[in-house]
Structure 1
Amino acid sequence: MSARRRSSLAILLIVWLAALLALPAVAQPLPAGVERGASVEGIDEYRLPNGLQVLMVADDSKPTTTVNLTVRVGSRHESYGETGMAHLLEHMLFKGTPTTPNPWAEFTRRGLRANGTTWVDRTNYFASFARNDEHLRWYLGWLADAMVHSTIARRDLDTEMTVVRNEMEMGENDPFRILFQQTLASAFQWHNYGKSTIGARSDVENVDIERLRAFYRQHYRPDNATLTVSGSFERASTLAWIADQFGRIERPAQARWLAPTLDPAQDGERSVTLRRVGGTPALLAMYHLPPAASPDFAAAELLAIVLGDTPSGRLHRRLVEGRLAASVFGGTLDTEEPGVTYFGAQLGPQQDIDAARTALLDTLEGVVAAPVTAEELERARNKWLKAWELNFSDPQRVGVALSEAIAAGDWRLFFLQRDRVRALTLADVQRVAAQRLLAANRTLGTYLPTAQPQRAPQPQRVDVAAQLEGWRPQPAAAAVPEFDPTPAAIDAATQRFTLAHGLQGALLPKPTRAQAVHAVLTLRYGDERSLAGQAEVEAVLAQMLDKGGGGLTRQQIEDRLDALRTELAFSAAGGTLTVTLRTRREFAVDAVALAASLLRTPDLPSDALDEVRRQVLAGIAAQRHDPQAVVAEALERHGNPYRRGDPRHARSFDERADDVRAVTVARLREFHRRFYGTAHAQFAAVGDFDPVALRAAVERHLGGWSAPERYTRIARAWHEPDAVRLQLETPDKQNAVLGVQQRVALSDNDADYPALSLANFMLGGGGDSRLWRRIREKDGLSYGTWSYVDWSQHEPHSVWGAGAIFAPGNRDAVERAFAEEVRRALDAGFTADEVSAARDSLLAFRRLSRAQDDRLAAALAGNLHLGRTMAVSQKVDEAIAALTPEQVNAALRRHLDPAKFVRALAGDFRRQ
């Protein structure tokens, strides 16, 4: 063979090998019968032979998994006499199946944070947990089992009925929530969107068990559901488990029937008036809209921001800055069939509702004469897109957020809506405003006849498939590596530093979805003497920090935050200012610079102070009649040994109102001058950032800033209030609250901390606790019951607390059940099986907490202040894992004493 021939063969061989290497890897085969659907920006769709739709949103940036089952059934699908059935079924599915009779116990045992929600177009069931294949496979199996084998027994319905009524009554305590529901009911003449999701009391109380089972069989079927798995998981095995567990379910032969009902175009103003005790005046206006899949819906969403946002919205400028209202808002309901947009105003106690109503309607319906400007549109667009990006960047939130798009017709609407917002023009927004913001299309408080009625366009359904034709999704984001949330790994990855003037820092750089960053800054200041009488000044100053400063107006600050895709919040109490920040890698340095400039050079304008004052006073007025707030005030004040003005004094509603009225701009400026500085500050950040650049930004913008007043932590000396039972009346409230407290001479440094934490978890802190099983599950007396320990991190002075919400008529039964379960725990103790299951569950929840970037950032900042590392968490985990039943029971008996309980009850007990 010639050299030339050999050379030619070699070249061919090289070309062949290169081509072979360039071939894509062979995809793993799908389970039998499973078909691949659309793939959009990292979300992959599959379809089982029985019709179940499966969405996979893989993201290994956090070692957590979220599973969400969306069933396309809500209050819209209920017939006459069936209102509340969709919501009632949500409750009943958690009552178990023949193979899993107690789901809540199984959730708790595996550390699953699970729940369900019901809305007009869908019901969803979801759980988040630290990545664990066994737990994932179990939960998928439970969902498949619950879809077709839920017991729905009369005995369970009878006990759950009181719980559902309790939830209904809890909603009745909120006047604005009832105003919203009654306005919605007036807006819809025939369509079920006007019916409350929780249902009519008569329908719920008289539900027929066989009719409820028929409703279940009609709607709980694989071809009517979407299963979404998001976060960290192995795709092939997960899809195989889904195919195995759900593939056994047969598709019903009968097709689903959907009511053809659509309301006609509204032909005149409608009104509703609500009169109840408590709260402050409020206004609410609703206008009919097309479905969420309509091309016009994006314009309606941005109109809601242009009109209802704070502080840029027209309503805020007209009503709040004009001192006609305390606060305003706006929004839309993204529904599968024609829905509504809504706008409202909350008034202070002395504000004129007639003047506010005129200004509200003139502003909303005046958009036709005063068109939306280009600046308003861009500001609204940036705000909407920021919210969308923050939602999409979180693997736990995106899986559940897709439920709304699924319910609206197709999960891809989640992305199509974003693209429509990006492409929206002023002409689109103005056209929708002119068509929809009409007096004849409005539901409010009065009726006014007109000789020439105007009509909004006739409601029409939207062909979702046609809307999606020609649309092209964006490329999916790159996958990120898995994060290890063990304390040792966290400590090893954390970079700690202390600046020359005292600020402490902790940086934990790691890849995250959408390059998200969470940061926390705490400023500590003052002492027992210098902070006397400053409680409301301190709190109000924190609320004023984003109202102008750093050379920017309030609106410029809001615009800057939107441009930086950043959420920023300030809060202060007891000598500590907390700043929380969420942003993205590319904006992290600029976000820190903005936050620092607001902290160091606030404007504190007087008109903003007037607005904050009105809002705080309106909140206090509402709390005076809220049973939960009334109980909290009573427990805080009973036995409090500190005089008025002391930072540790528990203030009454009247004292808080007086303090708010006494706040002036001069006092705010003086407080800022005396106390703000970073010599005793802690900064912590977790997420995808450049640690060198971020540390430099912290040092440049926050370093070298000291306050004139010294900082000394305010001690909480031991005091033990007398045991007492307080009963407080809150007239016209259909829900009541029980609160219980006892002081405990422990801190989280004590040897009994792990044992008492586990004992409380079993008593009332976990989802399968004794109090939950007795009061909520067995007796069906309460929608929610709980216990907790508010652990001191310094002195041996913690607070154990417990509570329940219930109907006033069940007061005696709730108190009796509570007392019996506490006594049973003290006398008989917890069993070895309970302790074993609770140990695993509590440790799983602790692992899950460390996997949440916002909580981890707060923990790192707290550790800096306490001089701790995550090794302390590791020691606690190890101590919990080693606990015996004898140790746990002994700790509970040492520290819990019913003879020392302070009990407070609030509700409308006069009707008993």
Structure 2
Amino acid sequence: MTEIEGIAEYRLANGLQILLVPDGGKPTTTVNLTVRVGSRHENYGETGMAHLLEHLLFKGSERYPEAWAEFSRRGLRANGSTWYDRTNYFASFASNEDNLRWYLGWLADAMVNATLARSALEAEMTVVRNEMEMGENDAGRVLLERGLSTMYLWHNYGKSTIGARSDIENVDIAALRRFYRTHYRPDNATLIVSGLFDAAQVLTWIQESFGPIPKPERPLPAAPTLDPVQDGEREVVLRRPGGVPLVYALYHVPPGPHPDHAAMRVLALILGDSPGGRLHRALVETSRAAAAFAFTQGLADPGYALFGLQLQSEKGLIEAERMLLEEIEGLAVRPITVSELERAKARWLKQWELSFANAETVGVALSESIAQGDWRLFFLTRDRVRNLQLEAVQRAAEQYLRRDNRTVARYVPTQELRRAPDPRRVDLVGMLQDYQGDPRLAAVPTFEASPANIDARTRVVSVTEGLQAALLSKATRGHLVHARLDLRFGTVEDLRGQAEVAALVAALLDKGTRRRPRQALADELDRLRADVSVQSVDGGVSVALRTVREHLPALLGVVAEMLREPALEAAALDEVKRQWLASLEEAQRSPEELADNAVLRRLHPYPEDDVRHVPALAAQMERVRAVGVEQVRAFHRRFYGASFAQFSAVGDFDEQAAIQALRSHLGGWKSPARYQRVPRPMVTVEPGFERLRTPDQRNAYLRASLPLPLSDGDPDYPALMLANYLLGQGGSSRLWTRVRETEGLSYGIHTHVEWNAWEPHSVWSLSVIFAPDNLGRVRRAIDEELKRVLTEGFTAEELEAARKGLLALRQLSRAQDGHLAAALAENLRLGRRFAVSQAVDERIAQLSLQEVNAALRKYLKPERFVWAAAGDFRE
């Protein structure tokens, strides 16, 4: 195939790669077989499998039943080793044609005919365990394992080559054989013969031994996993008895074939060499550490560099670690010198030349380059080191040896072991064999969630002046009941400049009352087995409740106390403001939040003090900061009352008891200010596209919105609802099929309509997430699909499938008690019954294809869209 510096490459027809390294200067021969499989190639539950195979291959086959004994009889110094990317089998012996031919035959036989008997596995298990335990006694080795497992999130370089004890002890012999057949094959191996031998004769013997092995038809499995770039420093601590403290600083570095790998090799010497390395001079010579060291792993995938210290005692560990990191990451301010670079290059090249000159070690040295992808990297890396310039090494240091790419691992010797119990699995069969469950939680009768049945079962009551209730009592599992209480207050004028104050009051209602401190209130809600959620809504507050039958009356009393007598303490207000400000701070780097905010600001062109105004995120932060506790208390005194209120309950409860509790706790609570719904009339919005950049965000977001001149009472409402379902709401919608299923550009794309029940002003919106580089492709796919559907319309088959899906979705919504309670409360406010929903369902069932296509064309105007995209866009 090729020849480089005396090494000749050959290849058999079955794919076996052969490297011949003749050296007559010493009467020895070394044979090395490198199989390109290591712990990197193991799957879940298979850790340690590559290493275990290495052991079992020496257990022999039918043709070679006692391999180890034969090695001894023939005077072969033989062994094997397993690492991340490869497994090696090697033997050195005094030059002898019979031994050479025999060992080549054993290697070929071991590649495909290993017995892998269960008895051999069981016998070798003790040896493998002992090897594992030997490693577990080495604090430095275990610390490296812990550091790498913290450093790598997904890649197998973060797992020990020897594997997890549980995987090894429970290995499936059938799975082990599959792993063997998958990876042990001639086209996945390189055979290296070095030393004294006759090249022509060796090639003949190799052909005789390996040539008959067929090349498998199946391709080699890929190992695609790569870790993402590290996004912040990490730490791990190991505590065990005995030994001395250790500190490792680990950094992700490029793979062995990368041009920067040579620079990292030299950097390891500049920093970690003794006595000339910077770490030795700064920490060992000043007695802050007993020893300093460093190395870089050249691997097939991105590897790691380690810089470490061994200390005399735990005293001074933190200071030594600080100095270690300062030396490593301070290369930007204390640049590498020419003399440091030349010294490191000379030392590295000396070691390379010594390894190349030794016929007994050159095969193993070459195997590491083979594991990285190609044996010629052995020479290319040498050339790269020879030609290294100061600028390249300095750039590599500043690029890779930085805080956000760092993992620190500390070993702290301790005599106080505080271990959790050993992990064990649970015997579920034995534990559950006599379990009967709670007999009280019996099945409940089926409830028909049709609009007609909901109306028939719902009792509407005027509880007090201004407070109406819709009560739907039915059996539920666990005697559960969902309820909703809405208070409405203020006018658009009265609420001017009060948007953030109103939201903060609502957020404080569950933070304690005048009679119950915050913890006492939380304890009482737990005692009542209740969940209470308070939300500020446009011109009011909404409270969602969930409890069980016997506790609903008492819970209504507690909720009334929260609404009428909130503590509204300054400390709680500060906490809520901090949380809100933190969420707004986070929102400013969120593509979704930024794009949504940009669109909503365009859709609501109201003055800054109008309750309908949508401020920019930064402006909203300033408004939140400005709210004081007296403003919050004044707002509650001015607006809160039950003169304009709706209550609903769905589930297992006593209707009369609920009505009585409402009258007792909310009766006579008059609203201080009048209420008039905040209007949201149709406004003209100029179309446009806004691009927002969110650095270091891997996901991008695109939103488009369009105001629609209709309400949910409009005759076109059912047709447009179904058209939207076909366009982008359903799982088989046009946009979903094009953008996600066909082009694979997004995890999700959806359209929805925010329907207005009061005025002819609804809003259609589209939202989609995607990789930032795909913005152009996403826009093009959306534009093309919208144009196509507006030109060609939907098909009859699409219509029938969507009709069934939409009706089923509406039925499912009515079957959710929490949703049903919210809908009943809203119906009270609107003066509606579920007969309206029934009429909509009936209209959906009757809609023709022409009506649906006409509704979409009438209202969907892409040229009027308001667009916003946010992401880490390059341009």
TM-score bracket, normalised by the shorter chain, equals 0.5 to 0.7
Runs of 4+ in 1 over 4 A off after TM superposition: 78-86, 186-197, 199-203, 268-275, 443-448, 469-472
Pairing 1:460–2:432 present: no
Pairing 1:732–2:704 present: no
- CA separation in 1, counterparts of 2:557 and 2:679? 33
What's the CA shift string for 1:82-138, capped at 9, x where partnerless?
77999xxxxxxxxxxxxxxxxxxxxxxxxxxxxxxxxxxxxxxxxxxxxxxxxxxxx
- CA separation in 1, counterparts of 2:583 and 2:732? 34
What's the CA shift string for 1:36-71, capped at 9, x where partnerless?
xxxxxxxxxxxxxxxxxxxxxxxxxxxxxxxxxxxx
Q: Structure 1 residues 859 and 456, CA, compared in 2 at 3 Å: closer, same or farther? A: same
Q: Which residue of 1 aligns with 2:485?
A: 521
What's the CA shift string for 1:838-885, capped at 9, x where partnerless?
111100010011000000000000000000000000000000000010
Q: Which residue of 1 aligns with 2:647?
A: 683
Q: Structure 1 residues 608 and 843, CA, compared in 2 at 3 Å: closer, same or farther? A: same
* 3-state SS of paired residue (2:747): strand
What's the CA shift string for 1:698-757, capped at 9, x where partnerless?
111112212221100111122121111111100111110010001100100000000000
Q: Which residue of 2 aligns with 1:602?
A: 566
What's the CA shift string for 1:321-344, capped at 9, x where partnerless?
xxxxxxxxxxxxxxxxxxxxxxxx
- CA separation in 2, counterparts of 1:603 and 1:674? 16
Pairing 1:267–2:230 present: no
- CA separation in 1, counterparts of 2:827 and 2:814? 13
Pairing 1:763–2:735 present: no
- CA separation in 1, counterparts of 2:649 and 2:640? 21
Pairing 1:642–2:606 present: yes
* 3-state SS of paired residue (1:698): helix
Q: Which residue of 1 aligns with 2:853?
A: 889
* 3-state SS of paired residue (1:552): coil
* 3-state SS of paired residue (1:886): helix
Q: Which residue of 1 aligns with 2:767?
A: 803
Q: Which residue of 2 aligns with 1:745?
A: 709
Shift of 1:800: 0.5
- CA separation in 1, counterparts of 2:43 and 2:667? 60
Contact 1:533 1:645 in 2 (8 A): yes
* 3-state SS of paired residue (2:765): strand
What code does the residue aligned with 1:742 have? L
Pairing 1:838–2:810 present: no
Contact 2:239 2:413 in 1 (8 A): no
Q: Structure 1 residues 273 and 587, CA, compared in 2 at 3 Å: closer, same or farther? A: farther
- CA separation in 2, counterparts of 1:790 and 1:658? 29
Q: Which residue of 1 aligns with 2:666?
A: 702
Candidates 647, 654, 669, aligned match of 2:618: 654
- CA separation in 1, counterparts of 2:239 and 2:517? 43
Candidates 569, 582, 589, aligned match of 2:533: 569
Q: Which has the higher contact order (CA 8 A, sep 6+)?
A: 1
Q: Structure 1 residues 196 and 558, CA, compared in 2 at 3 Å: closer, same or farther? A: farther
- CA separation in 2, counterparts of 1:718 and 1:664? 34
Contact 2:700 2:869 in 1 (8 A): yes
Contact 1:550 1:600 in 2 (8 A): no
Pairing 1:512–2:476 present: yes
- CA separation in 2, counterparts of 1:857 and 1:829? 37
Contact 2:594 2:870 in 1 (8 A): yes
Pairing 1:822–2:772 present: no
- CA separation in 2, counterparts of 1:824 and 1:805? 22
Q: Which residue of 2 aligns with 1:482?
A: 446
Q: Structure 1 residues 455 and 779, CA, compared in 2 at 3 Å: closer, same or farther? A: same
* 3-state SS of paired residue (1:507): strand
Shift of 1:201: 14
Q: Residues 493-512 of structure 1: matches in 2 within 5 Å? A: 493-512=457-476
Candidates 828, 836, 840, aligned match of 1:872: 836
Shift of 1:81: 4.7
- CA separation in 2, counterparts of 1:601 and 1:656? 28
Pairing 1:720–2:684 present: yes
What's the CA shift string for 1:793-814, capped at 9, x where partnerless?
1110110000110001111100
What code does the residue aligned with 1:769 have? S
What code does the residue aligned with 1:454 have? L
Q: Which residue of 1 aligns with 2:326?
A: none
Using the aligned pairs only, state the percent identity: 44
What code does the residue aligned with 2:516 have? L
Asked which structure has the greater CA Rg, the reply is 2
- CA separation in 2, counterparts of 1:195 and 1:876? 55
* 3-state SS of paired residue (1:611): helix
What's the CA shift string for 1:351-390, capped at 9, x where partnerless?
xxx9xxxxxxxxxxxxxxxxxxxxxxxxxxxxxxxxxxxx
- CA separation in 1, counterparts of 2:431 and 2:144? 30
* 3-state SS of paired residue (2:483): strand
Q: Structure 1 residues 473 and 818, CA, compared in 2 at 3 Å: closer, same or farther? A: same
- CA separation in 1, counterparts of 2:703 and 2:156? 29
Contact 2:698 2:772 in 1 (8 A): yes
Q: Structure 1 residues 475 and 909, CA, compared in 2 at 3 Å: closer, same or farther? A: closer
Shift of 1:455: 4.0
Pairing 1:901–2:873 present: no
Q: Which residue of 2 aligns with 1:785?
A: 749
What code does the residue aligned with 1:842 have? L
What's the CA shift string for 1:746-774, capped at 9, x where partnerless?
10000000000000001001111111100
* 3-state SS of paired residue (2:412): coil
Q: Which residue of 2 aligns with 1:632?
A: 596
Contact 1:267 1:453 in 2 (8 A): no
Shift of 1:274: 13
What's the CA shift string for 1:540-591, capped at 9, x where partnerless?
1111011111510100011111111100010103212010001000111111
- CA separation in 1, counterparts of 2:826 and 2:657? 23
Q: Which residue of 1 aligns with 2:179?
A: none
What code does the residue aligned with 1:581 have? L
* 3-state SS of paired residue (2:689): strand
Q: Residues 243-262 of structure 1: matches in 2 within 5 Å? A: none
- CA separation in 1, counterparts of 2:433 and 2:851? 66
What code does the residue aligned with 1:567 have? D
- CA separation in 2, counterparts of 1:202 and 1:783? 29
What code does the residue aligned with 2:494 have? S
What code does the residue aligned with 2:721 have? S
* 3-state SS of paired residue (1:499): strand
Q: TM-score, normalised by structure 1?
A: 0.53
Candidates 443, 449, 455, aligned match of 1:491: 455
- CA separation in 1, counterparts of 2:251 and 2:679? 47
Q: How many positions carry a matched residue from both structures?
A: 512
- CA separation in 2, counterparts of 1:659 and 1:272? 45
Contact 1:187 1:194 in 2 (8 A): no
Contact 2:725 2:802 in 1 (8 A): yes
Contact 1:747 1:791 in 2 (8 A): yes
* 3-state SS of paired residue (2:547): strand
- CA separation in 2, counterparts of 1:688 and 1:671? 36
Q: Structure 1 residues 692 and 837, CA, compared in 2 at 3 Å: closer, same or farther? A: same
Contact 1:270 1:444 in 2 (8 A): no
Q: Which residue of 2 aligns with 1:620?
A: 584
Shift of 1:454: 2.4
Contact 1:502 1:680 in 2 (8 A): yes
Alignment gaps of 5+ in structure 1: 1-77, 87-185, 204-214, 219-263, 276-353, 355-442
Contact 1:528 1:646 in 2 (8 A): yes
Q: Residues 129-208 of structure 1: matches in 2 within 5 Å? A: 189=146
What code does the residue aligned with 2:443 have? A
Alignment gaps of 5+ in structure 2: 1-37, 47-142, 160-171, 176-235, 241-245, 253-317, 319-405
What code does the residue aligned with 1:562 have? D
